[in-house]
Amino acid sequence: MIRPHGSDRLKPLYVMDEKQRRELEKEALGLPSVVISSAAAANAVMLGSGYFTPLSGYMNLKDTLGVAENMYTGAGLFWPIPIVNILKDTPAIAKAKRIALRDPNVEGNPVLAIQEVETIEKATEEQLAFITEKVFRTTDPAHPGVATFNSLGDYVVSGPIQVFNFSYFETEFPETFRTAYRVREEMSELGWEKIVAFQTRNPMHRAHEELCKMAKEATGADGILIHMLLGKLKQGDIPADVRDASIRKMVDLYFPPNTVLITGYGFDMLYAGPREAVLHAIFRQNSGCTHLIVGRDHAGVGNYYGPFDAQAIFDKEVPAGALEIEIFKADHTAWSKKLNKVVMMGQVENHTKDDFVMLSGTKVREMLSKGEPLPVEFARPEVAEILGQYYRSQVS
């Protein structure tokens, strides 16, 4: 395993000492409090988990603008996306030095963390537009990440935090949610030193399965970390519990024992394409992984990014030495009728489009909702059955 990003050790912000945590929870009841956004809550979970090492909390406006512009904080830390707590208004916390951050995603809005308030700064419309354009490469309100960011407000509240819990992720996904420090522990227990990570917000079809196997062989990895996003998604994406069930079935049946670790992390999808791919690399490095698979349209949505922009950013914009994790660049994968196996489409000769089994996402959803079987070259039948049950339940 490799060192965490920007640090010799992992720096989770979760208060692990139970006595100290109980004292802080009691203090929080007497502090000014605010219900934060789901995005800020997800940032707190990632900070608490150690995934955002070496950050100590939410960024101020200067660092937010610097990270947006050139992927560096004022202190010289390489970081691709601002980690912020942005509010619509601040009367409830005006002049407060410490505030309680309440969870918007759990009934009753329990306290998720205490934040030490260093600054409360109002961002201008021009500054917010600048951040949006730099991070998402668009200001189109139809982009789901842009829409979410532009709904947060304009008051940037900065300062270190102490995290008390991991929101709904621990309770709803007890078998899957893992902190970065626990992922490292589990990989160490398996004796893994070289690990390839696979990011997913979708179910894994046959091509994804084979891509993981190809990457493991090509890198000489000891194991594969399948690391799924468990937080908020755009409308139409498949819920985490369904993805989790289908991935576990695939791994149980089609991977050798002790070669895959199935885990998830508590974050909301940004759909920020290239910038989000770099963030994915950072928190996989913090998890101990030595390689990250970056494929076609990684972390993208719609037609906002080129198919391999998320690979190009590592060559063109990430400075040499900024990251220790290595990127495994994957071409679009599909089943070759000629070779009778999954291949990277750009690496095979004498093939036309008709030589591949290709299904659009729309066609897959249509077939599943009608109970029609997917081609075995596209999806394992056991996986297709789990997905089919979900889609049929949505239309019944």
Active site residues: 201-202
Whether residue 181 contacts residue 12, with contact meaning beta carbons closer than 8 Å, is answered with yes
In this structure, what is the dihedral angle of CA atoms 105, 110, 116, 121, given to the nearest 10 degrees?
A: 40
Whether residue 327 contacts residue 298, with contact meaning beta carbons closer than 8 Å, is answered with no
If DSSP states are collapsed to H, E and C, what string results for the chain? CCCCCCCCCCCCCECCCHHHHHHHHHHHCCCCEEECCHHHHHHHHHHHHCCCCCCCEECCHHHHHHHHHHCECCCCCECCCCCCCEECCCHHHCCCCEEEEECCCCCCCCEEEEEECCEEEECCHHHHHHHHHHHHCCCCCCCHHHHHHCCCCCEEEEEEEEECCCCCHHHHCCCCECCHHHHHHHHHHCCCCCEEEEEECCCCCHHHHHHHHHHHHHHCCCEEEEEEECCCCCCCCCCHHHHHHHHHHHHHHHCCCCCEEEEEECCCCCCCCHHHHHHHHHHHHHCCCCEEEECCCCCCCCCCCCCCHHHHHHHHCCCCCCCCCEEEECCCEEEECCCCEEEEHHHCCCCCHHHEECCCHHHHHHHHHCCCCCCCCCCCHHHHHHHHHHHHHHHC
**Buried/exposed 46-59: b ≥16 CB within 10 Å, e otherwise:** bbbbbbbbbbebbb
Encoded tokens for 341: 């196996």
Give the closest residue to 120 by CA, choosing from 77, 151, 89, 152: 89
